[in-house]
Amino acid sequence: MTLDRRKIIAGLMALSWATTFAGTLACAQESKPWTYEGSEGPDKWSELDTANQACSAGLEQSPIDLKKYNLAALEPISFDWKPQAFPIVNTGRSVYANVAKGSTTKLGEEEFALKQIVFHLPSEHTIDGVRQAMEMQFVHTLGPKRLLMVSVLVHAGEKNEAFFAMMAKAPSKMGTQPLQVPIDPTSLLPKTHSVFRYRGSLTMPPCTENVDWVVFAEPVEVAQSDIDAFKQVFTMNARPVQPLNRRFLLKGVF
């Protein structure tokens, strides 16, 4: 490839951001013909639409294998998430919860608005090569061009009531099912505050970069039956891990 990758990405950045924020974040490019497997799978995403060039040309792609990290003093993180009877949406490629206005996460001095909770099976991030059963990604925005992703890995164990309620309402086909009663999204977070931090991208087309990632080091436990319930909707909706390249991966406690 003779063209400069960074020039390709810079030339498409405006288009990528416009596409990403035109509608709901987890539905970026949902109308385009991409999948998680087969002829329109991850290794072909960049060929399916000109807006997806970062999927192959990008040098800061997500997810990654969380290893070879540097211990660091991290910015404080605080969560102000409101209980809500979330609408649970099946887009045909993913399941997510839509979040009403008012829930925020503060990273250092910056306050991001929580927009969606997206579910993947299996986990997209790995830790030292180990993949967990699922992953929950809490999608945040700050203004028109800032993205923060707070990610929680999931493994089988004790029942989590909030996760159970969401999986019970995950539509088996494209559509929306509202929860009957409000649940507290903070009950989906691990009790320990050890996290990984790195700069990455969206994990679905258009693979837009300049995304701040916070990935909890400790998984949360949920009932195996609730993981199996999600498998009835999607047997797999996770992008393969991407090269770290020259990025710094940090680990610390907030």
Contact call for residues 70 and 244 (beta carbons, < 8 A): no
Query: Is the pLDDT score of 18 beyond 80?
Result: no
Averaged pLDDT for residues 34-40: 95
Determine the length of the chain.
254
Closest CA to 229 of 145, 148, 163, 177: 163
pLDDT tens, position by position, 128-137:
999 999 999 9
pLDDT above 90 for 109:
yes
The residues spanned by each domain of the chain are 59-246
Angstrom distance (rounded) from CA 13 to CA 26:
18
More reliable by pLDDT, 14 or 79: 79
Residue 22 has pLDDT above 50, yes or no: no
SS3 track for the chain = CCCCHHHHHHHHHHHHHHHHHHCCHHHCCCCCCCCCCHHHCHHHHHHHCHHHCHHHHCCCCCCCEECCCEECCCCCEEEECCCECCEEEECCCCEEEECCCCCEEEECCEEEEEEEEEEECCCCCEECCEECCEEEEEEEEECCCEEEEEEEEEEECCCCHHHHHHHHCCCCCCEEEECCCCECHHHHCCCCCEEEEEEEECCCCCCCEEEEEEEECCCEEECHHHHHHHHCCCCCCCCCCCCCCCCCCEEEEC
Lowest mean pLDDT across 13-17, 39-43, 133-137, 204-208:
13-17
CATH number of the domain at 59-246, please? 3.10.200.10
At 185-222, the pLDDT tens digits run: 999 999 999 999 999 999 999 999 989 999 999 999 99
CA distance 156 to 221: 5
Question: What would the mean pLDDT of 68-93 be, rounded to a whole number?
Answer: 97
Percent of the chain with pLDDT over 90: 85
